[in-house]
Chains A and B, each alone.
Chain A
Amino acid sequence: MDDFTLMPWEKVGPQFKKSYKRAGMLVDLDSCIGCHSCSVSCKTENDVPLGNFRMRVRYLEQPTSASISFAPLLCMHCVDAPCLKACPSKAIKKGADGRILINESKCDLDEECVKACPYGAISINEDKGVAEKCDFCEHRTDVGLAPSCVDNCPTDALIFGDLDDPESRISKLAAKRKAKPWKPEAETNPSVLYVSHDKWMEKKVNTGVQLDPADEDVTYEQNNLKK
Chain B
Amino acid sequence: MSDLTRRHVLKLGTALLAGAFAPVRVSAQITPAVRDFSKLGRLDYTKAKATPTICFSCTNHCGVIGWVQDGIVRKIEGNPLDPNSQGNICSKAQGMISYTYYPERILYPLRRVGKRGEGKWKRITWDEAYDELTAKLKPLRENGVPEEFVFHYGRDKTKGVTKHFTNAFGTPHRLNRRSICSSNRRAPLMSFYGREFEWETQDLENTKYVVNWGGNPYEAYQGGLFMAHRLQKARVEDGAKLVTFEVRPSNTASKSDEFHTIMPGTDGAVAGAMIYTILKEGLENKKFWERWANYPLADLRKQVKDYTPEWAEKTSGVKAADIKRIAIEFAKAAPSCCTMSNRGSAKHYNGMQADRLIRTLDVLVGNVGKPGGYCLSSLRGWSGKYGQEGLPKLPMPEPKASSPKPWGIGEGFNEVAFKKLPQEVQDRVNGFPDKWKKKYYGELATPSEYPLAWHWYAMRVGQLVYPYIKERRQKVSVYMSFTLGASFGYPEANVVRDVLQDEELIPFHVAIDIGYGEQTALADMILPEATSLERWDHHSTNNYGLIPYTGIRQPLIAPQGESKTMPQMFRELAHRIGGGMEKHFTYKDDESFYKDWYKNLPVTWEEFKRRGIWQDATRPKDYELYERPLTATELEDTEVKDSLIIKSGKPVGIMKDGKAVRGFPTPNRVINVFDPIFETAAKAVGLPLTDGNASTVPVYHDVPEHVNLADDRYIFSTFKWNVHTQGRSGHWKYSAEIIHTNPVFMHPDTGKKLGVKEGDSVELSVFRPKGHTYKGGEEGVMGSFKNHVRFLKGMHPRVVMCSHHVGHWEHGIVGSTANQETSPDAGKSKELTDSELKRSPWWAKKRGGIGGGVHINDALPINPAPLIGGQNWYDNVCKIEKVTS
Interface residues of A (CB under 8 A from B): 1-2, 7-10, 12-14, 28, 30-31, 33-37, 39-41, 43-47, 49-51, 61, 65-70, 109-111, 114-115, 124, 126-127, 139-140, 143, 145, 148, 151-156, 211-213, 218-223, 225-227
Task: Give, as a whole number of angstroms, the nearest-CB distance from B225 to chain A.
Answer: 6
Query: How far, in Å, is B474 (CB) from chain A's closest CB?
Result: 42
**Contact (Cβ within 8 A) A36 B614:** no
B78 touches A152 (CB 8 A): yes
Chain A proximity mask over B229-250: 1 for CB below 8 Å, otherwise 0? 1001100100000000000010
Residue numbers in A under 8 Å from B743 (CB-CB):
221
Instruction: Beyond A61-B249, A126-B21, A219-B721, list 6 extra A-B contacts (CB 8 Å).
Output: A1-B617, A35-B218, A36-B738, A61-B793, A139-B43, A222-B850
Q: Which residues of the other chain, A, contact B228 by a CB distance below 8 angstroms? A: 33, 35, 154-155
Chain B residue numbers with a CB within 8 Å of A44 are: 74-76, 94, 97, 734
CA distance A93 to B23 in the complex (A): 27
Q: Is the interface of A mostly helix, strand, loop or mixed?
A: loop
| CB-nearest residue of chain A to B733 | A50
B7 touches A111 (CB 8 A): yes
Among the stretches B12-20, B168-176, B336-344, the one at the interface with A is B12-20
Q: Answer whether A1 and B614 are a contact pair too, CB < 8 Å, given A111-B8, A220-B737.
A: yes
With A151-B77, A226-B758 known to touch, is A126 a contact of B251 (CB < 8 Å)?
no
A51 touches B20 (CB 8 A): yes
Inter-chain contact B722/A35, CB cutoff 8 Å: yes
Decide yes or no whether B757 CB sits under 8 A from chain A.
yes
Cβ contacts A to B, 9 pairs, < 8 Å: A8-B80, A35-B228, A36-B723, A40-B734, A127-B24, A127-B26, A212-B12, A219-B721, A221-B790
Interface: B616 (CB within 8 A): yes
Q: What residues on B are CB-neighbors of A69 within 8 Å? A: 254
Q: Is the CB of B850 within 8 A of A109?
A: no
Closest B residue to A34 using CB positions: B251
Closest to A109 in B: B4
In the complex with contacts A40-B735, A111-B4, A50-B759 CB distance below 8 A:
no
**Stretch from B129-137, B287-295, B588-596, B835-843 contacting the other chain:** B835-843
Instruction: Give complex CA distance A12, B65 in Å.
Output: 13
A-B contact count (CB 8 A): 220
Partner of B218, one of A12, A30, A33, A61: A33
Which residues of chain A are near B87, meaning CB under 8 Å? 8
Q: Is B836 within 8 A of A223, CB to CB?
A: no
A40 and B46 form a contact (CB under 8 A): no
A50-B841, A156-B229 as given contacts; A13 in contact with B259, CB under 8 Å:
no
B751 CB to closest chain A CB (Å) equals 11
Q: B374-387, CB under 8 A of A: which get 1 and which 0?
A: 00000000000000
Cross-chain contact A45 with B251 (CB below 8 angstroms): no
Q: Say which residue of A28, A41, A45, A219 sits within 8 Å of B43 (CB atoms).
A: A45
Q: Which residues of A contact B721 (CB under 8 A)?
A: 219
Judge whether B717 is part of the interface by a CB distance below 8 angstroms: no
- Asked if B91 is an interface residue, CB under 8 A from chain A, the answer is yes
Contact (Cβ within 8 A) B249 A154? no
A49 near B38 with CB under 8 A, answer: yes
- Bound complex: CA A56 to CA B52 (Å): 28
In chain B, positions 1-52 with a C-beta closer than 8 Å to chain A are 2, 4-5, 7-8, 11-12, 14, 16-17, 20-24, 26, 38-46, 50, 52
Across the interface, name the chain A residue whose C-beta is closest to B759.
A225
Q: Cβ of B89 < 8 Å from any Cβ of A?
A: yes
Closest B residue to A225 using CB positions: B759
Which residues of chain B come closer than 8 Å to A2, judged between CB atoms?
Answer: 617
| Docked CA distance A211–B77 (Å) | 26
Q: Which residues of chain A have C-beta atoms less than 8 A from B251's C-beta?
A: 33-35, 68, 70
Residue of B nearest to A46 (CB): B42
B610 contacts A36, C-beta separation under 8 Å: no
B26, closest chain A residue (CB): A127
From B45, B76, B236, contact of A28 by CB (8 A): B236
Q: Is B448 close to A, CB under 8 A?
A: no
Residues in chain A near residue B616, CB distance under 8 A: 1
